Chain A
């Protein structure tokens, strides 16, 4: 497949990426030659059993770890070519990351946690706070703005972590189990936010164990033992129900 034929350049391109831990007998192939592109507007869900390499895939995509083989390309930039400072800037500006264990700073309030990456990037404190409040509002937790992480429930912390990943104009959002601590309807509203962000042009990749949540994605990829073993079609031919449902609608309107 030639790059020129693509309708748009991928925001994220994993080019035959491998990650091996340890040596000799203790060698673990966390990822083996994984090829994956995520385009603007696309939400990709990653599924697979525990230990199959999902988090590894995400940390490599976010530049938090480097591949032992292959290249990670974010918006045309090969992450391996960057020095630490430049890499940190890409991570702050282009990539929003939701960690499996949230990673909030305990000494900062929800709003401060969210505003921090924007302030580090030179946004004024007032503007950053305004953006942070809007992000909290989008996730229906505006009332938590001035609370510290330790004074929140797990699900509330998780939503703050998501708000932090969505703030600013991040073109790539990476989320590791973003609905793990959430009940069914709250989890759904978080997915609706992610979905809307992608519909507005961002690219996102999320790890999830729940098929019902993965189903919000345009594409679902399956990992097993570090290998990409399967994926659902990027664009489906159409649903068994779509036409029937539209017809019923028309009938009902008569």
Chain B
């Protein structure tokens, strides 16, 4: 997630100081990705170093204002015009966990899947309740729309995860059936054969 570009986008609407940026960032995104003021100042420092923002004076209370430069505007435009790369997927802890679970004897993979599905379903219920509230409170201001879009992204992503978990469950059941029918034919070689099938399956996920 790009804090850099988020801050540039906010500064594009006029000069702001650090604490203000933090508050506005969280208001837009419903505090889904909380920022601390330290992160904001570090990022502003880098943006200034790169010539994308510049200091724009202080107010009476000593707040240091920042403004976007022409170069910063070009960079912001470029960000909006370029798709977010999806070809280099971030590490997913759940996928790693399941990949490990199928290879380690004694781990009840189905139980891992069920536990996760229950948890993800509850998260989805929570997000949906928030969405119901956001819809009810929608006053037509841009902030509400931004928050709704972020929430719905979480909803669709969690839904996708649950669908994948359902798929994992039936994949595991299918695999168990196949292993059960394959085993009696070669009783002596059963353990290595089983491991071979498992690693093949793992390669496919």
> CB within 8 Å of B: which residues of A?
49, 192, 195, 210-212, 214-218, 220, 222, 229-233, 236, 238-242, 244-245, 247-249, 251-252, 254
| A212 in contact with B159 (CB, 8 Å) | yes
| B118 in contact with A232 (CB, 8 Å) | yes
Residue from B27, B147, B162 within 8 A of A211 (CB atoms): B162
User: Known: A212-B156, A232-B121. Is A247-B126 also a contact (CB below 8 A)?
Assistant: no
Minimal Cβ-Cβ distance residue in A for B29: A248
Chain B's nearest CB lies how many Å from the CB of A28? Answer: 18
Residues of B within 8 A of A245 (CB): 30-31, 130, 147
Number of interface residues of B (CB under 8 A): 35
Chain B's nearest CB lies how many Å from the CB of A208? Answer: 12
In chain B, residues 113-155, which have Cβ atoms closer than 8 Å to a Cβ of chain A?
Answer: 114, 117-118, 121-130, 132, 135, 143, 147, 155
10 further contact pairs, Cβ within 8 A, besides A222-B117, A239-B130: A210-B159, A211-B124, A211-B162, A214-B124, A215-B124, A229-B114, A230-B117, A241-B127, A244-B34, A248-B31
Does B42 have its Cβ within 8 Å of any Cβ on chain A? Answer: no
Does B158 have its Cβ within 8 Å of any Cβ on chain A? Answer: yes
Residues of A within 8 A of B36 (CB): none
User: Known: A210-B159, A252-B23, A252-B27. Is A242-B126 also a contact (CB below 8 A)?
Assistant: yes
29 contacts between A and B (CB under 8 A): A192-B132, A192-B135, A210-B159, A212-B128, A212-B155, A212-B159, A215-B121, A215-B125, A215-B159, A220-B121, A222-B114, A222-B117, A230-B114, A233-B122, A236-B125, A239-B126, A239-B129, A239-B130, A241-B127, A242-B130, A244-B26, A244-B32, A245-B147, A247-B31, A248-B29, A248-B30, A249-B27, A251-B23, A251-B27
User: Known: A212-B159, A230-B117. Is A217-B125 also a contact (CB below 8 A)?
Assistant: yes
In chain B, residues 45-87, which have Cβ atoms closer than 8 Å to a Cβ of chain A?
Answer: none
Residues of A within 8 A of B199 (CB): none
Does B163 have its Cβ within 8 Å of any Cβ on chain A? Answer: yes
Give Cα distance in the complex from A215 to B114, angstroms: 16
Residues of A within 8 A of B121 (CB): 211, 214-215, 220, 232
Minimal Cβ-Cβ distance residue in B for A214: B121
Give Cα distance in the complex from A249 to B166, angstroms: 35
Give Cα distance in the complex from A248 to B23, angstroms: 7
Chain A's nearest CB lies how many Å from the CB of B54? Answer: 26
Give Cα distance in the complex from A230 to B122, angstroms: 12
Residues of A within 8 A of B132 (CB): 192, 195, 216
Residue from B26, B127, B158 within 8 A of A248 (CB atoms): B26
| B124 in contact with A212 (CB, 8 Å) | yes
| A248 in contact with B27 (CB, 8 Å) | yes
Against A, the Cβ 8 Å flags (1 = close, 0 = not) of B94-125 are: 00000000000000000000100110011111
User: Known: A212-B156, A220-B121. Is A251-B26 also a contact (CB below 8 A)?
Assistant: yes
Residue from B128, B147, B166 within 8 A of A216 (CB atoms): B128
Residues of B within 8 A of A214 (CB): 121, 124
